[in-house]
Amino acid sequence: MARPMIVIVCNVEGYADSDRSPALGAEGWAYKQGIGSLYAEAVWEAGGVPTLLPCLGEAEMVAEMLGRADGLLITGGADVAPLDYGAEPSPHLGGANPVRDATDRAAVAYAEANPDLPVLGICRGIQSYNAYAGGTLIQDIPSEVKGAIQHSQKSPSTLGTHTLHIVEPESKTAAILGPSPIAVNSFHHQAVATPAPGMLVTARASDRVVEAMERPGHKWCVLVQWHPEHMFRRDERQRELFEGFVAAAES
């Protein structure tokens, strides 16, 4: 049986500020696209074929690629522009990239309209899915969450440095990760604030920050705030997250 094709959203470096093609920055070569190799390695080792979706801000291209895909992986990256979810920018907002935002917006719109397409969102992936499905974000955890724990760790990325707790024991998240508490890595300063309508929060950190969500009624839509691609070779549960995603794409 052929492996399922998993489309992985690229991240971008630089900004498309020139009047030329939106794929080019002011210096042309300065605008680059790609992914961390561990996303592709985790998908391949779980049984899928990783295929990259470049961020050109072209909704038609996103729909064309996802129409041929068996699954969608929305990766980490820059902050989501707050105007996209009806907020003004915090002084602590990091850099946002309008081309990445446009690509994620189109990908989420396609996924929402096609609930049979399995989706895995990682870090920015949970944030952008929530924002473009109608929710809001915490723009900066340290300045907005009272009693916040450290969500941007200084330890190696393969190590879990804080715990999460399952809050929906009948969820896919619970079935994959098993009983709480679960140690995960953490590299973010934004997070879900108000979940999008119909979204189910399935796990939280000890400071109540959302760590995982699912989209009920969809074939397989699991969104996580940590980076399982950095942990899957050491932690069986993180590997099973990718295997569950790819199995849903294969069926």
Asked about 27 being catalytic, the answer comes back as no
Q: Is 229 a catalytic residue?
A: yes
Provide Rg for the chain, Cα atoms. 17
Catalytic entry in 123, 211, 230, 240:
123
Q: Which of 211, 229, 240, 243 is catalytic?
A: 229
Q: Where are the domains of the chain?
A: 5-250
Out of 221, 227, 230, 243, the active site residue is 227
Say whether 92 is catalytic.
no
Query: How far from 70 is each of 6, 76, 172, 249, 250, CA to CA, in Å?
Result: 6, 20, 19, 5, 7
Question: Closest Cα partner for 223 from 206, 236, 210?
Answer: 210
Partners of 173 in beta bridges: none
Report the C-alpha gap between 136 and 113 in whole angstroms.
Answer: 20
Within 10 Å of residue 238's Cβ, how many Cβ atoms?
Answer: 26
Each residue's pLDDT expressed in tens, for the chain with a length of 251 residues: 799 999 999 998 765 554 445 544 444 556 688 999 999 999 999 999 999 999 988 999 999 999 999 999 999 999 999 999 999 999 999 988 888 999 999 999 999 999 999 999 999 999 999 999 999 999 999 999 999 999 999 999 999 999 999 999 999 999 999 888 899 999 999 999 999 999 999 999 999 999 999 999 999 999 999 999 999 999 999 999 999 999 999 98
CATH 3.40.50.880 fits 5-250, yes or no: yes
